[in-house]
Amino acid sequence: MYKSHIILIGLLMSSILLIPGCLAAAVGAGAVGSVVYIKGDLEAVEGKDIDTVYAATKKAVGQLELKVNKDYKGFSSAEIIARDAEDRKTTIRLKSTSEETTKVSIRVGLLGNELRSSFIYQKIHDNLQQKKS
């Protein structure tokens, strides 16, 4: 019995080392309020419907003075592609995961920029908090 536990722990540890991005996605994927940065994309889940998150995102884009190149809003998804003052491409994708939750994905530049993505997400999140008041 003890030997099988050691083998199982060894297998789990090796899988954690082999697939860290997938593990982070699995841990943070469904929890509202969770934010993870994986392979250049900041991903978060907001406890609001897609229309509310889209409105907060549009407001954030305006507040940050991003120049919008593409703005698409469908029933269960949305995408805004914009450029900042330094001509960095910013892609913000929204996907409805339920009637009351929306997944937000932000990528700045070709390879991603965690600091800038976090800043944009914080603006979106702040706008969502203001709507509560």
Both 24 and 42 in one domain: the answer is no
CA angle 122, 55, 107 (to 5 degrees): 45
pLDDT of 73 strictly over 60: yes
Average pLDDT, the chain: 84
pLDDT of 27 strictly over 50: no
Amino acid at 48: K
Mean pLDDT along residues 14-43: 65
Q: What are the tens digits of pLDDT across the range 98-117?
A: 999 999 999 999 999 999 99
Cβ–Cβ under 8 Å, residues 131 and 106: no
Both 13 and 38 in one domain: the answer is no
Both 77 and 24 in one domain: the answer is no
Write the burial class of residue 94 (CB in 10 Å: 0-12 exposed, 13-18 middle, 19+ buried).
Answer: buried
Both 114 and 59 in one domain: the answer is yes
Both 35 and 23 in one domain: the answer is no
Domain span at 20: 1-28
Cβ–Cβ under 8 Å, residues 93 and 77: yes
Residue 4: band (very low, low, confident or very high) from pLDDT cuts 50, 70, 90: low
pLDDT of 5 strictly over 60: no
Return d(Cα 50, Cα 47) in angstroms, integer: 9
pLDDT for res 34: 82
Both 51 and 74 in one domain: the answer is yes
Both 103 and 48 in one domain: the answer is yes
Q: Give how many domains the chain has, as a whole number.
A: 2
Q: Which CATH number goes with the domain that contains 62?
A: 3.30.310.80
Residue with tokens 């976090």: 118
Both 23 and 45 in one domain: the answer is no
Q: How far from the centroid of its chain's Cα atoms is residue 85's Cα?
A: 22
Query: What are the angstrom distances between the C-alpha of 104 and each of 5, 90, 94, 119, 128?
Result: 39, 13, 5, 13, 13
Full-model pTM: 0.75
Both 105 and 58 in one domain: the answer is yes
